[in-house]
Structure 1
Amino acid sequence: MSDATASLSVMAKSTNLRIASVNVNGIRAAYRKGMADWVNSRGADIIAIQEVRATVDDLSGLLGPEWDILHDEATAKGRAGVALASRRKAEIHRVTFGDDDFDSAGRWLEADYDVDGTIVTVVSTYVHSGEADTPKQVEKYKFLDALLKRLPELKAHNPLSVFMGDLNVGHRTLDIKNWRGNVKRAGFLPQERAYFDKIFGAEGEEGYNTGSAGLGWVDLGRKFAGDVDGPYTWWSNRGQAFDNDTGWRIDYQVATPELAAKATSYAVDRYPSYDARWSDHAPIVVDYKL
């Protein structure tokens, strides 16, 4: 085989992988409002789902037998819950996260997928919403501490890793339309944003407002959109927030540099109208070429 023929053979083996992520705000309600049409038409290979608020039987019944489903329910029934639905069966999955005395049930689910010979690790996660100066915020910081500890381990486990979901933090002023009115509210507190400075900071270099070296993960939304407002992924149900695009970018896909280099497109599937929404969050869809 000539070098040219070998090169063409390698190129022919590349695989396109489409991964979507969405907080459904209750999957049974989302399906009643039209989520099935999006699932059936979007062509995702893997879907990370947050705030499932249902059982694995509910998920199987709604999505159908063609999907391999992993689900981690929250300790409190009807709350939180994360899932991974894939057209490929997971090689292995993990839910252990944080210290033994920390209840992360329904908020962190990892799985390894064999994509035509390439292992890709995908995480569906749902970070606490928090509330400034309350025990809810303490739990949120515990989760973010566990996240900082887990990410280097995840990268060491597999250089082709991505975590995604509703992270409930707007990292920069570009990520919230009305950021001035939210600087003292959970979701945009300086301490919360410092965690993200560290996650996205250059690996081995001390980043702004972090006090320690960055972890080097890539925010794919910002990588593709650049330094622009949004694109937002969540809108309050109050007032005309959706119609006026007064939103927050709190849903992310965050990849290792190695996997980020294989991302070819990024999209926020914003609903055409307020009445057409099946969740208060819009799905994020990223294409990768492996």
Structure 2
Amino acid sequence: MQELKAQAPDLSPSLSVIDGMQGFFHHAQKKGYSGVGVYSRVTPSEVIVGLGDEEFDAEGRYLEARYDSPHRRLSIISCYFPSGSSSEERQQAKYRFLARIAPHLRALRQSGREFVLMGDVNIAHREADLKNWKGNLKNSGFLPEERAWMTTLLTPLDQGGGGLVDVYRHLHPDTTDACYTWWSNRGQARAKNVGWRIDYHLATPGLAETARAASIYKDSWFSDHAPLTVDYDVSL
């Protein structure tokens, strides 16, 4: 889960544990802002809160649950990338975050750890990932620099990239309007399905190969985002 907008005292016992799943959280220092979490039926062997970066750790943007055994080193990461749409200052913060997290993920990948980063990345990678791509070429979320960053992240390690896989596109390579996960609250965007695909599962290749199905839940609306679910054939 991303963009919790809650502090630890705000979470009642019914929100700390849901249907037998224990919650682990990284709260922002600012009230009503950001925050990420992971709910898990299996107790992690370690929970890492934050990237070790003062600027972004204060904003509650990264939580990694590790499930390590003699046979596997696996991480589940919840991450909320900054949005740069509100101002140039926030766009520059977004670029700083991208510059900070890319080598972190590459180092995890090079270490041999399998992981999936699930999060609101606030970037539509390709023209197929948003309805009105021509009208957004100069807008945050579809800027050339952001899209190039995504391309590098999804480039194999031996070609100088981050070596990760966009799992939804791995399972659904064809372009369809069903891929969108976010809609503006303005201009009846949701009713007209004028959306963006900015929520991702970004996985190491070994883990991505175990993905069997991906779906975007739209039967009920919880926010301006729709939940993205991927089923993996892997045990913790």
What TM-score comes out, normalization by structure 1 length? 0.74
**Offset of 1:248 from its aligned partner?**
0.2
Match in the other structure for 1:10? none
Distance 1:52 1:152 in 2: 27
Aligned residues: 230
Distance 2:34 2:214 in 1: 26
**Offset of 1:167 from its aligned partner?**
0.4
> Does 1:283 pair with 2:212?
no
Match in the other structure for 1:150? 104
**Offset of 1:120 from its aligned partner?**
2.3
- Are the counterparts in 1 of residues 50 and 61 from structure 2 also a CA contact under 8 Å? no
Match in the other structure for 2:7? 55
**Offset of 1:178 from its aligned partner?**
0.4
Match in the other structure for 2:89? 135
> Does 1:162 pair with 2:116?
yes
**What stretches of structure 1 of length at least 5 have no aligned partner?**
1-48, 206-212
Match in the other structure for 2:162? 215
Q: What code does the residue aligned with 1:223 have?
A: H
Q: Deviations over 1:169-211 (max 9, x none)?
A: 0000001100111111110000111110100112222xxxxxx
Structure 1 pair 237–288 and aligned structure 2 pair: CA distance change class (3 A): same
**Offset of 1:62 from its aligned partner?**
2.7
Distance 1:241 1:152 in 2: 36
Q: What code does the residue aligned with 1:55 have?
A: Q
Q: Which has the larger radius of gyration?
A: 1
- Are the counterparts in 1 of residues 136 and 142 from structure 2 also a CA contact under 8 Å? yes
Q: What code does the residue aligned with 2:55 have?
A: F
- Are the counterparts in 1 of residues 181 and 227 from structure 2 also a CA contact under 8 Å? yes
1:243 to 179, 185, 191: 191
Higher relative contact order (CA 8 A, sep 6+): 1
Structure 1 pair 192–77 and aligned structure 2 pair: CA distance change class (3 A): same
**Offset of 1:240 from its aligned partner?**
2.1
**Offset of 1:237 from its aligned partner?**
1.4
Q: What code does the residue aligned with 2:213 have?
A: S
**Offset of 1:262 from its aligned partner?**
1.0
Question: Taking every aligned residue pair, what percent have the same amino acid on both sides?
Answer: 39
**Offset of 1:150 from its aligned partner?**
0.5
Distance 2:110 2:70 in 1: 21
> Does 1:229 pair with 2:176?
yes
- Are the counterparts in 2 of residues 69 and 85 from structure 1 also a CA contact under 8 Å? yes
Q: Deviations over 1:193-234 (max 9, x none)?
A: 1110100112222xxxxxxx2222000111111130350000
**Offset of 1:117 from its aligned partner?**
6.3
1:262 to 210, 213, 219: 210
1:78 match: secondary structure = coil
Q: What code does the residue aligned with 1:61 have?
A: S
Q: What code does the residue aligned with 2:41 have?
A: R
Distance 1:119 1:56 in 2: 29
Match in the other structure for 1:34? none
Q: What code does the residue aligned with 1:62 have?
A: L
- Are the counterparts in 2 of residues 104 and 143 from structure 1 also a CA contact under 8 Å? no
Moved more, 62-71 or 138-147: 62-71
Structure 1 pair 243–132 and aligned structure 2 pair: CA distance change class (3 A): closer
- Are the counterparts in 1 of residues 165 and 202 from structure 2 also a CA contact under 8 Å? yes
Q: What code does the residue aligned with 2:4 have?
A: V
